[in-house]
Structure 1
Amino acid sequence: MEHQPSSRRLVCASCGTEFGCNPSGPCWCSDEAFRMPMPVDGSDCFCPDCLRKLAKQRAGAGAA
Structure 2
Amino acid sequence: MKKKTKYIDVPALISSSIKSSTVLEDFLPPPNKLVLKEDNSKMTIVLSKKSISFSKDFGISEEEFLNL
TM-score higher than 0.5 here? Answer: no
TM-score (norm 2): 0.23
Greater radius of gyration (CA): 2
Q: Higher relative contact order by CA 8 Å / sep ≥ 6: 1 or 2?
A: 1
Q: Give the helix-richer structure, 1 or 2.
A: 2
Q: Give the strand-richer structure, 1 or 2.
A: 1
TM-score (norm 1): 0.25
